[in-house]
Amino acid sequence: MLPIISIVGKSKSGKTTLIEKLIPELKKRGYRIGTVKHASHNFDMDKKGKDSWRHKAAGADTVIVASSERIVMVKDENFVHLESIEKYFDDVDLVITEGFKKEKKPKIEVYRSHKNKKPLCNDDKTFIALVTDTDIRVNVPTFGLEEIKALSDLIEKKYL
Write down the pLDDT at residue 115. 67
40 φψ region: left (φ > 0), alpha (ψ -120 to 50), beta (else): alpha
Rg of the Cα trace of the chain?
A: 17
The pLDDT tens digits of the residues spanning 21-78 come to 999 999 999 999 999 887 665 555 667 887 888 888 888 878 878 878 888 887 777 7
pLDDT at residue 34 in the model: 92
Residues 129-134 have a mean pLDDT of 94
The class (CATH top level) of 4-41+90-159 is alpha beta
Q: Taking the domains of the chain in order of start, what are their residue ranges? A: 4-41+90-159
